[in-house]
Amino acid sequence: MKRKILLCLGGICLSAVAQRVEMVTTTASERWKNQKVKVQKIHEGKADIYVYPDSLMQEIEGFGGTFNELGWDALQSLSSEERAEVMSSLFSEEGVNFVYGRTPIACSDYAFSYYSYNDVKDDYEMRNFNVGRDRYTLIPYIKEALKLRPDLRLWASPWTPPIWMKINEHYSLKSHGIDKQGTGHNRLDPHRATFIHTTGFNMQVGYLEAYALYFSKYIQEYRKNGVNISMIMPQNEIAWQPAWPSCTWRSEDLAIFVGKFLTPRFKQDGLDTEIWLGTVNFPDPDYIRTFLKDKDAAEAIGGIGVQWTGKQALPVVQREYPNYRYMQTENECGEGENDWTSLEKSWKAIVHCFNHGVNSYMYWNMVLDETGKSGWDWSQNSLVRVNRQTHEVVYTDEYYLLKHLSHFLQPGSRRLKVSASENMLAFRNHEGKVVVVVYHPGAEPMKKTVRIGDICFVLALSPQSLATVVCR
Protein backbone atom coordinates (compact mmCIF):
# COMPACT_ATOMS: atom_id res chain seq x y z
CA MET A 1 0.00 0.00 0.00
CA LYS A 2 1.37 3.41 -1.05
CA ARG A 3 1.69 6.06 1.62
CA LYS A 4 -0.04 9.43 1.16
CA ILE A 5 1.97 12.44 2.28
CA LEU A 6 1.54 16.21 2.35
CA LEU A 7 4.36 18.25 0.88
CA CYS A 8 4.74 21.97 1.65
CA LEU A 9 6.80 24.26 -0.51
CA GLY A 10 7.12 27.63 1.16
CA GLY A 11 3.37 27.81 1.74
CA ILE A 12 2.34 25.39 -1.04
CA CYS A 13 1.18 22.09 0.44
CA LEU A 14 0.77 18.93 -1.63
CA SER A 15 -1.19 15.82 -0.64
CA ALA A 16 -0.01 13.05 -2.95
CA VAL A 17 1.19 9.51 -3.42
CA ALA A 18 4.92 10.14 -2.82
CA GLN A 19 5.12 12.95 -5.37
CA ARG A 20 8.28 14.82 -6.23
CA VAL A 21 7.50 18.53 -6.27
CA GLU A 22 9.45 21.57 -7.45
CA MET A 23 8.49 25.22 -7.20
CA VAL A 24 9.98 28.52 -8.30
CA THR A 25 8.61 32.02 -7.62
CA THR A 26 9.30 35.53 -8.88
CA THR A 27 8.45 38.98 -7.57
CA ALA A 28 9.75 42.37 -8.68
CA SER A 29 12.47 42.15 -6.00
CA GLU A 30 13.15 38.39 -5.83
CA ARG A 31 13.51 36.60 -9.16
CA TRP A 32 13.50 32.86 -9.82
CA LYS A 33 13.52 31.79 -6.17
CA ASN A 34 13.43 28.04 -5.50
CA GLN A 35 11.24 26.91 -2.61
CA LYS A 36 12.07 24.15 -0.15
CA VAL A 37 10.00 20.99 0.34
CA LYS A 38 8.64 19.85 3.71
CA VAL A 39 6.60 16.82 4.74
CA GLN A 40 3.38 17.66 6.59
CA LYS A 41 0.06 16.06 7.50
CA ILE A 42 -2.50 14.94 4.93
CA HIS A 43 -4.73 17.75 3.68
CA GLU A 44 -8.45 17.01 3.33
CA GLY A 45 -11.44 19.10 2.21
CA LYS A 46 -12.78 20.83 -0.86
CA ALA A 47 -10.34 22.66 -3.12
CA ASP A 48 -10.79 26.19 -4.46
CA ILE A 49 -9.29 25.36 -7.85
CA TYR A 50 -9.17 22.07 -9.75
CA VAL A 51 -6.66 20.98 -12.39
CA TYR A 52 -7.82 18.00 -14.45
CA PRO A 53 -4.70 16.04 -15.48
CA ASP A 54 -6.59 13.75 -17.85
CA SER A 55 -8.42 16.56 -19.69
CA LEU A 56 -5.87 17.30 -22.39
CA MET A 57 -6.41 20.42 -24.46
CA GLN A 58 -4.28 21.73 -27.38
CA GLU A 59 -0.68 20.72 -27.95
CA ILE A 60 1.90 23.31 -26.91
CA GLU A 61 4.66 23.73 -29.47
CA GLY A 62 6.63 26.28 -27.50
CA PHE A 63 7.72 29.86 -26.98
CA GLY A 64 10.16 32.08 -28.82
CA GLY A 65 11.57 35.52 -29.48
CA THR A 66 12.63 37.70 -32.41
CA PHE A 67 16.02 38.38 -33.97
CA ASN A 68 16.56 41.95 -35.15
CA GLU A 69 19.54 44.00 -36.30
CA LEU A 70 19.44 46.43 -33.37
CA GLY A 71 19.44 43.54 -30.90
CA TRP A 72 22.56 42.06 -32.49
CA ASP A 73 24.16 45.52 -32.45
CA ALA A 74 23.54 45.81 -28.70
CA LEU A 75 25.15 42.41 -28.13
CA GLN A 76 28.27 43.52 -30.03
CA SER A 77 29.12 45.92 -27.20
CA LEU A 78 29.73 42.92 -24.92
CA SER A 79 32.73 40.62 -24.75
CA SER A 80 32.36 37.24 -26.45
CA GLU A 81 31.96 35.61 -23.02
CA GLU A 82 29.27 38.08 -21.93
CA ARG A 83 27.46 37.72 -25.25
CA ALA A 84 27.53 33.94 -24.94
CA GLU A 85 26.03 34.21 -21.45
CA VAL A 86 23.10 36.27 -22.74
CA MET A 87 22.45 33.86 -25.59
CA SER A 88 22.61 30.92 -23.17
CA SER A 89 20.09 32.62 -20.91
CA LEU A 90 17.64 32.63 -23.82
CA PHE A 91 18.27 29.34 -25.65
CA SER A 92 19.92 26.83 -23.31
CA GLU A 93 18.06 24.22 -21.24
CA GLU A 94 19.11 26.08 -18.10
CA GLY A 95 17.69 29.35 -19.43
CA VAL A 96 14.39 30.27 -21.05
CA ASN A 97 14.93 27.36 -23.46
CA PHE A 98 13.17 28.99 -26.42
CA VAL A 99 11.84 26.64 -29.09
CA TYR A 100 11.08 29.25 -31.77
CA GLY A 101 12.94 32.13 -33.34
CA ARG A 102 11.41 34.76 -35.59
CA THR A 103 13.40 36.77 -38.10
CA PRO A 104 12.36 39.57 -40.46
CA ILE A 105 12.60 39.12 -44.22
CA ALA A 106 14.78 42.17 -44.94
CA CYS A 107 14.09 45.35 -42.97
CA SER A 108 11.87 45.78 -39.93
CA ASP A 109 11.32 48.76 -37.65
CA TYR A 110 14.28 47.44 -35.60
CA ALA A 111 16.69 47.33 -38.54
CA PHE A 112 19.44 49.92 -38.95
CA SER A 113 17.69 51.32 -42.02
CA TYR A 114 15.40 50.54 -44.91
CA TYR A 115 16.47 47.73 -47.23
CA SER A 116 15.18 44.80 -49.24
CA TYR A 117 16.93 41.89 -50.95
CA ASN A 118 16.32 43.37 -54.39
CA ASP A 119 15.84 47.10 -54.89
CA VAL A 120 16.38 46.94 -58.65
CA LYS A 121 13.14 48.12 -60.22
CA ASP A 122 11.23 45.60 -62.34
CA ASP A 123 13.77 42.81 -61.81
CA TYR A 124 11.02 40.23 -62.16
CA GLU A 125 13.48 37.33 -62.48
CA MET A 126 15.35 38.32 -59.29
CA ARG A 127 18.74 38.45 -60.98
CA ASN A 128 19.90 40.99 -58.38
CA PHE A 129 18.50 39.18 -55.34
CA ASN A 130 20.98 38.83 -52.46
CA VAL A 131 21.01 38.51 -48.67
CA GLY A 132 24.52 39.93 -48.33
CA ARG A 133 23.64 42.40 -45.59
CA ASP A 134 22.08 39.69 -43.42
CA ARG A 135 25.36 37.76 -43.43
CA TYR A 136 26.75 40.43 -41.10
CA THR A 137 23.70 41.00 -38.88
CA LEU A 138 20.74 38.64 -38.72
CA ILE A 139 22.43 35.39 -39.79
CA PRO A 140 25.27 35.58 -37.20
CA TYR A 141 22.67 36.37 -34.51
CA ILE A 142 20.61 33.32 -35.50
CA LYS A 143 23.67 31.08 -35.72
CA GLU A 144 24.67 31.95 -32.16
CA ALA A 145 21.27 30.64 -31.08
CA LEU A 146 21.61 27.53 -33.26
CA LYS A 147 24.86 26.63 -31.47
CA LEU A 148 22.82 26.29 -28.29
CA ARG A 149 19.64 24.98 -29.87
CA PRO A 150 20.31 23.20 -33.19
CA ASP A 151 16.63 22.22 -33.43
CA LEU A 152 15.45 25.83 -33.12
CA ARG A 153 12.32 26.35 -35.25
CA LEU A 154 12.81 29.47 -37.34
CA TRP A 155 10.06 31.39 -39.08
CA ALA A 156 10.08 34.66 -40.98
CA SER A 157 7.87 37.47 -42.25
CA PRO A 158 8.50 40.65 -44.24
CA TRP A 159 7.57 44.10 -43.02
CA THR A 160 7.52 45.31 -46.61
CA PRO A 161 8.07 44.03 -50.15
CA PRO A 162 10.67 45.79 -52.30
CA ILE A 163 9.34 49.29 -52.93
CA TRP A 164 8.95 48.83 -56.71
CA MET A 165 6.26 46.23 -55.97
CA LYS A 166 4.17 48.68 -53.90
CA ILE A 167 1.55 51.14 -55.03
CA ASN A 168 3.26 54.14 -53.38
CA GLU A 169 6.83 52.99 -54.15
CA HIS A 170 8.00 53.64 -50.59
CA TYR A 171 8.99 51.39 -47.70
CA SER A 172 6.37 52.99 -45.44
CA LEU A 173 2.68 53.72 -45.88
CA LYS A 174 2.28 56.80 -43.70
CA SER A 175 4.30 59.99 -43.51
CA HIS A 176 4.25 60.96 -39.83
CA GLY A 177 6.71 59.92 -37.14
CA ILE A 178 6.08 58.23 -33.81
CA ASP A 179 4.78 61.53 -32.43
CA LYS A 180 2.21 61.64 -35.30
CA GLN A 181 3.54 65.02 -36.33
CA GLY A 182 5.21 66.28 -39.50
CA THR A 183 6.71 64.01 -42.12
CA GLY A 184 8.60 61.81 -39.68
CA HIS A 185 11.91 60.12 -40.36
CA ASN A 186 10.82 58.53 -43.59
CA ARG A 187 10.21 61.78 -45.52
CA LEU A 188 7.24 60.23 -47.30
CA ASP A 189 5.14 62.77 -49.16
CA PRO A 190 1.76 62.76 -47.35
CA HIS A 191 0.04 62.62 -50.75
CA ARG A 192 1.54 59.15 -51.23
CA ALA A 193 0.24 57.72 -47.97
CA THR A 194 -2.22 54.83 -48.33
CA PHE A 195 -5.56 54.12 -46.72
CA ILE A 196 -5.74 51.46 -44.02
CA HIS A 197 -8.27 49.11 -45.64
CA THR A 198 -6.63 48.97 -49.06
CA THR A 199 -3.81 46.76 -50.36
CA GLY A 200 -0.42 48.43 -50.47
CA PHE A 201 0.98 45.82 -52.84
CA ASN A 202 0.64 46.30 -56.60
CA MET A 203 -1.62 43.40 -57.59
CA GLN A 204 -0.37 43.11 -61.18
CA VAL A 205 0.58 39.57 -62.21
CA GLY A 206 4.24 40.40 -62.84
CA TYR A 207 4.69 41.73 -59.31
CA LEU A 208 2.83 38.81 -57.74
CA GLU A 209 5.03 36.33 -59.59
CA ALA A 210 8.17 38.25 -58.72
CA TYR A 211 7.27 38.45 -55.05
CA ALA A 212 6.62 34.71 -54.85
CA LEU A 213 10.05 34.14 -56.38
CA TYR A 214 11.49 36.62 -53.83
CA PHE A 215 10.24 34.43 -50.97
CA SER A 216 11.60 31.29 -52.62
CA LYS A 217 15.02 32.86 -53.18
CA TYR A 218 15.09 34.01 -49.55
CA ILE A 219 14.51 30.51 -48.20
CA GLN A 220 17.06 28.99 -50.58
CA GLU A 221 19.74 31.61 -49.85
CA TYR A 222 19.30 31.27 -46.09
CA ARG A 223 19.70 27.50 -46.39
CA LYS A 224 22.95 28.05 -48.31
CA ASN A 225 24.06 30.13 -45.32
CA GLY A 226 23.23 27.36 -42.84
CA VAL A 227 19.84 28.63 -41.64
CA ASN A 228 16.66 26.67 -42.32
CA ILE A 229 13.44 28.71 -42.36
CA SER A 230 10.70 26.20 -41.55
CA MET A 231 7.73 28.55 -41.90
CA ILE A 232 6.84 31.96 -43.33
CA MET A 233 3.97 34.39 -42.89
CA PRO A 234 3.64 36.62 -45.96
CA GLN A 235 3.18 39.95 -44.16
CA ASN A 236 3.88 41.43 -40.74
CA GLU A 237 0.82 43.24 -39.31
CA ILE A 238 -1.41 42.96 -42.34
CA ALA A 239 -3.84 45.66 -41.21
CA TRP A 240 -1.64 48.54 -40.08
CA GLN A 241 -0.05 51.44 -41.92
CA PRO A 242 2.68 52.91 -39.70
CA ALA A 243 5.50 55.26 -40.61
CA TRP A 244 8.06 52.43 -40.67
CA PRO A 245 8.36 49.49 -43.09
CA SER A 246 4.88 48.12 -43.75
CA CYS A 247 2.37 46.91 -46.32
CA THR A 248 -1.36 46.42 -45.85
CA TRP A 249 -3.27 43.63 -47.61
CA ARG A 250 -6.98 43.11 -48.07
CA SER A 251 -7.69 39.50 -47.17
CA GLU A 252 -9.04 38.74 -50.66
CA ASP A 253 -5.80 40.00 -52.22
CA LEU A 254 -3.57 38.15 -49.78
CA ALA A 255 -5.51 34.95 -50.51
CA ILE A 256 -4.85 35.42 -54.24
CA PHE A 257 -1.12 35.84 -53.60
CA VAL A 258 -0.85 32.85 -51.24
CA GLY A 259 -3.10 30.44 -53.11
CA LYS A 260 -2.28 31.24 -56.73
CA PHE A 261 1.31 32.48 -56.66
CA LEU A 262 3.28 31.72 -53.48
CA THR A 263 2.16 28.10 -53.01
CA PRO A 264 2.71 27.09 -56.67
CA ARG A 265 6.16 28.74 -56.54
CA PHE A 266 7.16 26.73 -53.47
CA LYS A 267 5.95 23.52 -55.11
CA GLN A 268 7.83 24.32 -58.31
CA ASP A 269 11.04 24.93 -56.37
CA GLY A 270 10.61 21.86 -54.14
CA LEU A 271 10.39 23.83 -50.89
CA ASP A 272 8.83 22.21 -47.81
CA THR A 273 8.62 25.51 -45.90
CA GLU A 274 5.17 25.96 -44.37
CA ILE A 275 3.04 28.97 -45.29
CA TRP A 276 0.80 30.48 -42.60
CA LEU A 277 -1.76 33.25 -42.67
CA GLY A 278 -0.29 36.11 -40.70
CA THR A 279 0.55 38.15 -38.95
CA VAL A 280 -3.08 39.16 -38.47
CA ASN A 281 -3.51 42.22 -36.28
CA PHE A 282 -7.18 42.80 -37.18
CA PRO A 283 -9.60 42.06 -34.29
CA ASP A 284 -12.60 41.30 -36.53
CA PRO A 285 -12.78 37.54 -37.29
CA ASP A 286 -14.09 38.40 -40.77
CA TYR A 287 -10.56 39.12 -41.97
CA ILE A 288 -9.57 35.49 -41.42
CA ARG A 289 -12.95 34.17 -42.54
CA THR A 290 -12.68 36.02 -45.85
CA PHE A 291 -9.18 34.70 -46.49
CA LEU A 292 -10.31 31.13 -45.80
CA LYS A 293 -13.22 31.43 -48.27
CA ASP A 294 -10.57 31.16 -50.97
CA LYS A 295 -10.19 27.38 -51.36
CA ASP A 296 -6.65 27.50 -52.75
CA ALA A 297 -5.46 29.75 -49.92
CA ALA A 298 -7.28 27.79 -47.21
CA GLU A 299 -5.67 24.53 -48.37
CA ALA A 300 -2.23 26.14 -48.66
CA ILE A 301 -1.77 27.35 -45.10
CA GLY A 302 -0.62 25.27 -42.16
CA GLY A 303 -1.68 27.69 -39.45
CA ILE A 304 -2.81 31.18 -38.47
CA GLY A 305 -0.70 33.79 -36.70
CA VAL A 306 -2.35 36.58 -34.72
CA GLN A 307 -0.62 39.64 -33.32
CA TRP A 308 -1.61 42.17 -30.66
CA THR A 309 -5.23 43.16 -31.33
CA GLY A 310 -5.57 40.15 -33.62
CA LYS A 311 -5.76 37.97 -30.53
CA GLN A 312 -9.25 39.39 -29.94
CA ALA A 313 -10.44 37.31 -32.90
CA LEU A 314 -9.10 34.07 -31.40
CA PRO A 315 -12.19 33.01 -29.39
CA VAL A 316 -14.31 32.98 -32.55
CA VAL A 317 -11.76 31.91 -35.14
CA GLN A 318 -10.27 29.00 -33.21
CA ARG A 319 -13.74 27.66 -32.52
CA GLU A 320 -14.80 27.93 -36.17
CA TYR A 321 -11.52 26.61 -37.59
CA PRO A 322 -10.20 24.13 -35.01
CA ASN A 323 -8.05 22.17 -37.48
CA TYR A 324 -5.46 24.93 -37.92
CA ARG A 325 -2.53 25.55 -35.63
CA TYR A 326 -2.38 28.98 -34.00
CA MET A 327 0.46 31.25 -32.93
CA GLN A 328 0.55 34.54 -31.06
CA THR A 329 3.22 36.13 -33.26
CA GLU A 330 4.36 39.17 -31.30
CA ASN A 331 4.05 40.13 -27.67
CA GLU A 332 2.87 43.71 -27.10
CA CYS A 333 5.87 46.03 -27.51
CA GLY A 334 5.32 48.32 -24.53
CA GLU A 335 6.83 51.77 -24.13
CA GLY A 336 10.25 50.89 -22.75
CA GLU A 337 9.03 50.72 -19.17
CA ASN A 338 10.38 47.18 -18.65
CA ASP A 339 8.78 46.90 -15.22
CA TRP A 340 6.24 44.74 -13.40
CA THR A 341 3.34 46.37 -15.26
CA SER A 342 4.80 44.95 -18.48
CA LEU A 343 4.81 41.49 -16.93
CA GLU A 344 1.16 41.87 -15.89
CA LYS A 345 0.06 42.90 -19.40
CA SER A 346 1.99 40.08 -21.01
CA TRP A 347 0.64 37.54 -18.52
CA LYS A 348 -2.95 38.54 -19.34
CA ALA A 349 -2.22 38.17 -23.05
CA ILE A 350 -0.63 34.75 -22.51
CA VAL A 351 -3.60 33.48 -20.49
CA HIS A 352 -6.07 34.78 -23.09
CA CYS A 353 -4.15 33.24 -25.99
CA PHE A 354 -3.66 29.79 -24.48
CA ASN A 355 -7.20 29.64 -23.17
CA HIS A 356 -8.34 30.27 -26.75
CA GLY A 357 -6.25 27.68 -28.49
CA VAL A 358 -2.81 28.98 -29.44
CA ASN A 359 -0.07 26.38 -29.74
CA SER A 360 2.87 28.77 -29.60
CA TYR A 361 3.68 32.23 -28.28
CA MET A 362 6.30 34.71 -29.49
CA TYR A 363 7.98 37.61 -27.75
CA TRP A 364 9.12 40.62 -29.78
CA ASN A 365 12.71 41.89 -29.29
CA MET A 366 14.72 39.54 -27.10
CA VAL A 367 17.61 41.99 -26.70
CA LEU A 368 17.81 45.78 -27.01
CA ASP A 369 20.23 48.47 -25.89
CA GLU A 370 19.72 50.79 -22.92
CA THR A 371 17.39 53.09 -24.91
CA GLY A 372 15.21 50.37 -26.41
CA LYS A 373 14.57 52.73 -29.32
CA SER A 374 13.85 51.87 -32.92
CA GLY A 375 14.95 54.10 -35.79
CA TRP A 376 11.58 55.80 -35.35
CA ASP A 377 12.28 56.77 -31.70
CA TRP A 378 9.80 54.33 -30.19
CA SER A 379 11.32 52.93 -27.01
CA GLN A 380 10.04 49.39 -26.55
CA ASN A 381 10.41 46.55 -24.06
CA SER A 382 12.74 43.59 -24.32
CA LEU A 383 13.69 40.52 -22.32
CA VAL A 384 17.30 41.65 -21.95
CA ARG A 385 18.71 45.18 -21.85
CA VAL A 386 22.38 45.77 -22.69
CA ASN A 387 23.99 49.08 -21.74
CA ARG A 388 26.46 49.78 -24.54
CA GLN A 389 28.52 52.18 -22.40
CA THR A 390 28.78 50.29 -19.09
CA HIS A 391 28.24 46.77 -20.55
CA GLU A 392 25.69 46.10 -17.82
CA VAL A 393 23.20 43.36 -18.69
CA VAL A 394 19.71 43.58 -17.18
CA TYR A 395 17.17 40.75 -17.30
CA THR A 396 13.71 42.32 -17.18
CA ASP A 397 10.60 41.06 -15.38
CA GLU A 398 9.23 39.78 -18.68
CA TYR A 399 12.34 37.64 -19.10
CA TYR A 400 11.36 35.78 -15.95
CA LEU A 401 7.72 35.56 -17.03
CA LEU A 402 8.78 33.76 -20.21
CA LYS A 403 11.19 31.58 -18.25
CA HIS A 404 8.39 30.54 -15.85
CA LEU A 405 6.70 29.02 -18.89
CA SER A 406 9.17 28.13 -21.63
CA HIS A 407 11.79 26.64 -19.31
CA PHE A 408 9.33 23.88 -18.39
CA LEU A 409 7.24 23.56 -21.58
CA GLN A 410 8.79 22.09 -24.71
CA PRO A 411 7.17 20.59 -27.84
CA GLY A 412 4.79 17.78 -26.97
CA SER A 413 3.34 19.50 -23.91
CA ARG A 414 -0.43 19.81 -23.60
CA ARG A 415 -2.60 22.39 -21.89
CA LEU A 416 -4.81 21.01 -19.11
CA LYS A 417 -8.35 21.98 -18.21
CA VAL A 418 -8.66 24.02 -14.99
CA SER A 419 -11.69 25.25 -13.05
CA ALA A 420 -10.28 28.79 -12.77
CA SER A 421 -9.46 30.39 -16.13
CA GLU A 422 -8.07 33.66 -14.75
CA ASN A 423 -4.46 34.00 -13.56
CA MET A 424 -3.76 30.29 -13.87
CA LEU A 425 -2.53 27.94 -16.58
CA ALA A 426 -1.80 24.25 -16.26
CA PHE A 427 -0.03 21.81 -18.55
CA ARG A 428 1.17 18.24 -18.85
CA ASN A 429 4.63 18.89 -20.18
CA HIS A 430 6.82 16.95 -22.60
CA GLU A 431 8.25 14.89 -19.71
CA GLY A 432 4.83 13.94 -18.36
CA LYS A 433 5.06 16.33 -15.43
CA VAL A 434 2.14 18.55 -14.39
CA VAL A 435 3.13 22.22 -14.57
CA VAL A 436 0.93 24.83 -12.89
CA VAL A 437 1.68 28.54 -13.43
CA VAL A 438 -0.15 31.03 -11.21
CA TYR A 439 -0.06 34.81 -10.99
CA HIS A 440 -1.25 36.72 -7.93
CA PRO A 441 -1.91 40.40 -8.79
CA GLY A 442 -3.20 41.52 -5.40
CA ALA A 443 -1.59 43.74 -2.78
CA GLU A 444 -2.11 41.19 0.01
CA PRO A 445 -0.91 37.59 0.36
CA MET A 446 -3.19 34.98 -1.21
CA LYS A 447 -4.06 31.41 -0.21
CA LYS A 448 -5.92 28.98 -2.45
CA THR A 449 -6.32 25.21 -2.25
CA VAL A 450 -5.55 23.56 -5.57
CA ARG A 451 -6.24 19.92 -6.44
CA ILE A 452 -4.58 18.04 -9.30
CA GLY A 453 -6.29 14.65 -9.51
CA ASP A 454 -5.53 13.09 -6.13
CA ILE A 455 -2.90 15.73 -5.37
CA CYS A 456 -3.86 18.75 -3.27
CA PHE A 457 -1.87 21.79 -2.22
CA VAL A 458 -2.53 25.08 -0.48
CA LEU A 459 -1.19 27.88 -2.61
CA ALA A 460 0.21 30.75 -0.51
CA LEU A 461 1.61 33.52 -2.66
CA SER A 462 3.20 36.84 -1.87
CA PRO A 463 1.57 39.99 -3.27
CA GLN A 464 2.23 40.56 -6.98
CA SER A 465 4.05 37.31 -7.55
CA LEU A 466 4.36 34.58 -10.13
CA ALA A 467 4.82 30.89 -9.29
CA THR A 468 5.46 27.71 -11.25
CA VAL A 469 4.81 24.40 -9.52
CA VAL A 470 6.04 21.19 -11.16
CA CYS A 471 5.06 17.74 -9.92
CA ARG A 472 5.11 14.17 -11.22
How many other C-beta atoms can be found within 10 angstroms of the C-beta atom of residue 45?
8
Greatest C-alpha distance within the chain = 81
Confidence of residue 14 (pLDDT cuts 50, 70, 90): very low
Using one digit for the tens of pLDDT, what is the confidence trace for 442-459? 999 998 888 888 778 777
* Angle (CA) 68 310 251, round 5°: 95
d(CA 118, CA 162): 6
Say which residue, 232 or 42, is predicted with more confidence: 232
d(CA 254, CA 268): 20
**Average confidence (pLDDT) over 53-77:** 98
β-strand partners of 266: none
**Average confidence (pLDDT) over 189-214:** 94
Q: How many helices (H) and strands (E) does the chain have?
A: 11, 24
Q: Supply the pLDDT for residue 5.
A: 32
| % of the chain beyond a pLDDT of 70 | 91
Q: Supply the pLDDT for residue 215.
A: 99
Residue 6 reports pLDDT greater than 60 = no
In whole angstroms, what separates CA 207 from the centre of its chain? 30
3-state helix, strand, coil in the chain (%, to 5): 30, 25, 45
Does pTM top 0.85 for this prediction? yes
| % of the chain beyond a pLDDT of 90 | 80
Confidence of residue 37 (pLDDT cuts 50, 70, 90): very low
